[in-house]
Amino acid sequence: MKMDIRIGTILEAERVPKTDKLLKLLVSTGDEKRTIVSGIAAHYAPENIIGQQVTLLANLAPRKIKGIESKGMILMAEDETGKLVFVMPSESLRDGSAVK
């Protein structure tokens, strides 16, 4: 299957209750808003990532995580210490822009 990788912007972020690692994100993909559950809570506070542009894998089958339907995956890079960093464009792009 061909990967559908797009640029999106985080509109809302909150911790998933009773977890240490999960954030529930509402991400604009241009033509829609998607809920994505991501294991980045140890690296980012929800209030600090609102407005952050991200790269997401958009054509994954929806998956329930802790009872929340997640419709995609945020792409992250990991450094040698285990720190996660957003994979994002170097310039601001329109939400929904394709990554090729």
Residue whose token pair is 């929340």: 68
The range of the structural domain enclosing residue 10 comes to 5-86
Q: How far apart are CA 32 and CA 62, in angstroms?
A: 15
pLDDT for residue 1 is more than 80: no
Identify the CATH number of the domain in which residue 46 sits: 2.40.50.140
Q: What pLDDT was estimated at residue 81?
A: 95
How much is the average pLDDT of 32-49?
A: 97
Kindly state whether residue 63 falls inside one of the protein's structural domains. Answer: yes
Kindly state whether residue 100 falls inside one of the protein's structural domains. Answer: no
Q: How many CB atoms lie within 10 A of CB 100?
A: 4
Kindly state whether residue 98 falls inside one of the protein's structural domains. Answer: no
Q: How far apart are CA 65 and CA 73, in angstroms?
A: 12
- Chain segment 71-91, per-residue pLDDT in tens: 999 999 999 999 999 999 999
**Total domain count for the chain?**
1
Please tell me the pTM assigned to this model.
0.94
